[in-house]
Chains A and B, each alone.
Chain A
Amino acid sequence: MQRCFASVFLLAIFLVAGLTGSALAQDLQAAGLATGSSADYFNQLMLGITGDWQKYGELFTFLQGQWFSKIFLVVITAVPAVFLLHYLIIGAKHFDHDSEPIYFFSLFARVVHFVAAVSFTLLVITGLMIVFGSFFGGGFIIRMARYIHLISAMVFALPGLLMFVMWFKEMLPQWHDIKWMFIVGGYLSKEKKPVPAAKFNAGQKMYFWFAIFGGGVMAYTGYIIWGFGASLDIVRIFTMVHNVLGVGIVAFFLTHCYMSVFAIAGSLESMKTGYKPKDEVDILHSLHKY
């Protein structure tokens, strides 16, 4: 898990550094040009039509042409691989489901989460379909994927907002979250020791904030990209942001899925029924007051 996070963050940092670096280099190159030749007229002209291609267009071409799909591929293969390893070595956590059930999620919360889950899953799947469009041969399927991506985004906006309001307080970071992070939520050991977490652990909080803010950014950039609603340079930047953030979101999404479906046996139930076994709460959400 740690490695997974680390790799995602490292990739992001590498990308950002790369972006600024090459942009700077291009800047210097552009400034050094002499004026007056027909090539300059052409450059000047192109600035009018296609924005600062040398700054953003080339970078976009480089990233989209060479990197984005590869990075996505790495994420959707490496992350599950890491989890598979985790599952094989450490295995799922089993809790006593006969212990006293504790009412954890209200019906409202569950409905909201369900809608969010479906739309978010669709977003991720269709998003990945677009990224790997050539794999599917493009055309009708991918065009549909784009439409579904748009609809899902619009659908996701409402539960996203509701979750934000509903869980805002519980999701605020606390000091014990740091401790949680040091032990990576106890997922690296088979021992069942109480983990420092209240209703939501630090991992969930990270996902929450990533999904809320990232989701907001994704929604806005996506909206602009959809309609080319800004200058071309802005659209280019937004597209890059959309893709880079997308990498992170996919990683978190996979983590969340793994945690809920495999890592904690029966965890999925709690989102259906609203109840978690006391045993599980005491260990994984030891600070939760019920």
Chain B
Amino acid sequence: MARVKFLCDVDRCIDCSGCVIACKEGNHIPVGVNRRRVITLEQGKPGEKSISVSCMHCADAPCIAVCPVDAIYQRDDGIVLVNKKTCIGCGYCFMACPFGAPQFPKGSVFGARGAMDKCTFCAGGPEETFSDEEKHLYGQNRIAEGKVPLCAGMCATKALLAGDADVVADVYRERVFQRGSGANAWGWDKAYKKK
């Protein structure tokens, strides 16, 4: 079975946050929880770059390894999901994640973290597909509808790619090829720029 992946093309991302808003509106995420966010480096300086990040649905996901209650699991297609009913909000996954993907809405007791929430690749959760409970806990299940995740679908510049890893890689490879070398190649300035 194909594995799914996200890829954010740094040369295309314009920091419009369209993906963030699409995700939040489409899945009714509480304020303060960011399944996806856009980060900008060197803001306002030469070399400014933006990138949209969320759960990367890692192959060997650290979050799954550290979860003390085995609430996180990976589907055959590579999508990493959390069972919110099992999750205890300990936050270990957040410590283990290299991308800061796990998010914790405020719980009710002693300021405890509620169950972890993160990008589902718009694939819902462990509850029955298209059930109200799934929608309530995890948001849309667009994968089951045969659609790409909202964020990637909404991306104005097609910077954010999502889908079958091989196809995503092909699209990106083609772009890099099209951009060619010359001034567009990474490191070109460094190696060849005349002072």
Contacts and interface: CB of A to CB of B under 8 A. Distances in A.
A136 B71 CA distance: 12
Interface stretch (B80-88, B119-127, B132-140, B149-157): B80-88
A69 B68 contact: yes
B192 interface: no
B187 interface: yes
Nearest to A142: B88
Interface string A185-224: 0000000000000000000000000000000000000000
B91 A57 contact: no
A60 B86 contact: no
B186 A65 contact: no
Contacts of A11: none
Given A61-B62, A65-B62, A138-B69, A239 B187 contact: no
B103 to A, nearest CB: 12
B71 A49 contact: no
A32 interface: no
Q: Which DSSP category, helix, strand, loop or mixed, fits chain B's interface?
A: loop
Given A61-B62, A69-B68, A147 B109 contact: yes
Interface string B86-110: 1111111011111110000000011
Contacts of A42: 51
A265 interface: no
Contacts of A137: 69, 86
A30 to B, nearest CB: 13
Contacts of A48: 39, 41
Contacts of B88: 130, 133, 138-139, 142-143, 145-146
Nearest to A235: B95
B112 A147 contact: yes
Interface stretch (A33-41, A76-84, A86-94, A251-259): A33-41
B96 A61 contact: yes
Given A61-B96, A133-B69, A142-B69, A228 B186 contact: no
Given A61-B65, A146-B90, A46 B70 contact: no
Given A36-B186, A41-B49, A50 B100 contact: yes
A49 B53 contact: yes
A45 B39 CA distance: 7
B59 interface: no
A92 B111 CA distance: 47
A112 interface: no
Q: Which DSSP category, helix, strand, loop or mixed, fits chain A's interface?
A: helix
Contact of B68 (A41, A130, A232): A130
A53 B98 contact: yes
Contact of B98 (A46, A146, A239): A46
B75 interface: no
B66 A37 contact: no
Nearest to A239: B95
Nearest to B66: A64
Interface in A134-171: 134, 136-139, 142-143, 145-147, 150
B109 A64 contact: no
B167 interface: no
A223 B92 CA distance: 15
A226 interface: yes
A139 to B, nearest CB: 5
B51 A57 contact: no
Contacts of B71: 138
Given A133-B69, A146-B88, A225-B91, A50 B112 contact: no
A42 B52 CA distance: 10
Contact of A138 (B70, B94, B109): B70
A44 interface: yes
A136 B10 CA distance: 44
Contacts of A60: 66, 92, 95-96
A278 interface: no
A204 B17 CA distance: 60
18 contacts: A36-B187, A37-B186, A38-B10, A45-B51, A49-B39, A49-B100, A50-B97, A50-B100, A57-B98, A64-B65, A130-B88, A133-B69, A138-B86, A143-B89, A146-B90, A147-B110, A228-B91, A228-B113
Given A36-B186, A45-B51, A64-B68, 9 more contacts: A38-B10, A45-B39, A45-B41, A50-B99, A58-B98, A60-B95, A65-B65, A142-B68, A225-B91
